[in-house]
Structure 1
Amino acid sequence: MDYIMWLVVVIVVLALGFDFINGFHDTANAIATSVSTRALTPRRAIILAAVMNLVGALMFTGVAKTVGEKIVNPFKLEVPEQGLTIVIATLCAAIIWNLITWWFGIPSSSSHALIGALAGAGVAALGWGGIDPEGFTSVVKGLILSPFIAFAIGFVIMFILKQIFANASPHQLNKAFRGGQVLTAAFQAFSHGTNDAQKAMGIITLALVAAKVQTDMDIPLWVKIAAALAMALGTSVGGWKIIKTMGTKIFKIEPINGFSADLGSASVILGATLTGLPVSTTHVITSSILGVGSAKKFSAVRWGMAGRIVLTWVITIPAVSILAALCYYVLSLFLL
């Protein structure tokens, strides 16, 4: 096996590692509300999330193509070693950031980490001309706008349900919506798989094009299956620190709130997938929970915790971009 193929193998291992970490880092996205309201036991919730993540990951490729060619254009990477070093630096920086935020129980965005890292490594290697400004702008717009849309949709769904069931028995209401939460948790996990697993697929395919192994951005079947399995396996491990933050520290979630938050956020994520835009499932789901909490009772939301989460959102892209640039400079000493 020649040097270029060894680098490709390293990238595949790192990308699947990122997908695995993304799975346990973002398990909370799909199951935090259903676990916190006891609609599902933690074990059943994780199994459901793993299975539905796997199904969702195998069904779409639009987001993968966006990640693979809309930030750093793989067809302009004339030196294979340089292109592959960019990808390795990207994955190293994103994995480091994910592990740091997981350790501290902060629901930061794996998507922001990956996009920011790819941009940072690309600029470090090629200068500002190495980034596709139109593609990068469209991706960042999607990342920024989607949480606001999710907040609004979560607020509206909760407001409507609050009016409809204003005179309902709290006991009967909780019982009914616990059942509904099983369906929305499944929908949530499915939508997560359709968007998040695509990002690793895009990175691997970018590497294959940079290495001249293939000449287009069509996602190979083995890449789809490997990324989907890595995401599902990571999901099965679970991320309990983040589950606690998402499910208990923003506001006290009841079954009707969890149902509303899951339905709103899953709809936004699936809509983004259908348009080929990568979004932060963490941001979308957290924003939907905030919207639902605001509709329930504005003062019930723990805005201090929400502010801490938002601060992490703001700093992720610039922080990971710098980290990825540093990784590229270090790796270039050994790989180029």
Structure 2
Amino acid sequence: MTAGLAVVLVLLCAVGALMGFRDAPNAAALPVRYRALTPRGALLLTGAVNTVGALLGIGLITLSVHYFTSPAVRSEIGPLAVGVSCAVTLVWGLLLWWRRLPGSSTHALISALAGSHLAVRLSLHIDVAHTIFDLVRAEVLLSLLLSPLIAWALARLLTALAMRLATRGTTVNVQHRARVGLGISASAMAMGHGLQAGQRMGVLWAAVLVGSGSVLAPDALTAEFVGGAFLFAFAVGLGTLGGAWRIAWTLTERLVRLDP
């Protein structure tokens, strides 16, 4: 592995740690707030599930990795653009943490990638209008349209069940169900965070390797890709253990008044 690839991998792992660090409050804040889980137990649980989710996300994305690694990144400029995007994401995430503000590391990374991709196209004197049109994919637009509708439909279907569990039985039984539900939801949210982080990393690390001249295919993964995948998943889990309690306090105490 060259020095340039090593630097980009370190930046990717740093972004993974930041994602885990900032995603931990979203998964663990409410279970800890209502004593469904202890702070240590919640972080260990979400850290482990986040790591597994990241590995699964990377494994799933390799099935169609060439679909995402466009010819624009198959050059020396591609790895440089990824490295710059990771640096921007790190600075933005740390700024939000310092200000105790919740935010999306994924959105920050995607925005940085879009900006760096546009800068690369401009430096190569490629038509900007064509670049913007090329970035807008039908799959992305369709997912943006369908995801809130699916979420609304699932919420409507689950409301009746949740109300039944929350209103039937004694207060002790209801609180016990609520704590179990919070523990399950924390695990599910951590798994989702890990899957998303793994998918982002899989695409970016594959793009970097393809840009550096490595042969990458689902049936012939290079040692660099596999090793980078495990390092990234470990970084996500390690970052989750950090906890980011500044954001957790904002979520449970400053944004809304909560009671059992």
The question of a shared fold, defined as TM-score above 0.5 by the shorter chain, is answered with yes
**After alignment, is 117-126 or 190-199 more displaced?**
190-199
Q: Distance in 1 between matches of 2:235 and 2:248?
A: 20
CA gap of 1:177–1:31, structure 2 versus 1, over 3 A, is same
1:237 to 217, 223, 242: 242
CA gap of 1:99–1:22, structure 2 versus 1, over 3 A, is same
Runs of 5+ consecutive residues of structure 1 not aligned to the other structure: 256-336
Q: Distance in 1 between matches of 2:259 and 2:66?
A: 40
Q: Which residue of 1 aligns with 2:7?
A: 10
Q: Which residue of 2 aligns with 1:79?
A: 75
TM-score, normalised by the number of residues in structure 2: 0.81
> Is the Cα contact below 8 Å between 2:167 and 2:174 reproduced in 1?
no
Q: Distance in 2 between matches of 1:89 and 1:231?
A: 20
Q: Distance in 2 between matches of 1:252 and 1:230?
A: 33
Q: Which residue of 1 aligns with 2:31?
A: 34
Q: Which residue of 2 aligns with 1:120?
A: 115
Once the two structures are TM-superposed, the CA of residue 169 in structure 1 deviates from its matched residue by 3.0
2:251 to 236, 240, 246: 246
In the alignment, structure 1 residue 49 sits paired with structure 2 residue 46: yes
Q: Which residue of 1 aligns with 2:231?
A: 226
TM-score, normalised by the number of residues in structure 1: 0.65
Once the two structures are TM-superposed, the CA of residue 6 in structure 1 deviates from its matched residue by 2.2
Once the two structures are TM-superposed, the CA of residue 67 in structure 1 deviates from its matched residue by 8.5
> Is the Cα contact below 8 Å between 2:74 and 2:210 reproduced in 1?
no
Q: Which residue of 2 aligns with 1:25?
A: 22
2:106 to 92, 111, 125: 111
Q: Distance in 2 between matches of 1:207 and 1:6?
A: 13
Q: Which residue of 1 aligns with 2:125?
A: none
> Is the Cα contact below 8 Å between 2:47 and 2:237 reproduced in 1?
yes
Once the two structures are TM-superposed, the CA of residue 159 in structure 1 deviates from its matched residue by 4.6
Q: Distance in 2 between matches of 1:253 and 1:205?
A: 43
Higher RCO structure, 1 or 2 (CA under 8 Å, sep 6+): 2
Write the deviation string for residues 38-86 of structure 1: whole angstroms up to 9, x where unpaired. 101111100111111112222233357778854xx44334531x22221
Q: Distance in 2 between matches of 1:164 and 1:179?
A: 11
Q: Distance in 2 between matches of 1:22 and 1:169?
A: 39
Q: State the identity %.
A: 29
1:45 corresponds to which letter in structure 2?
A
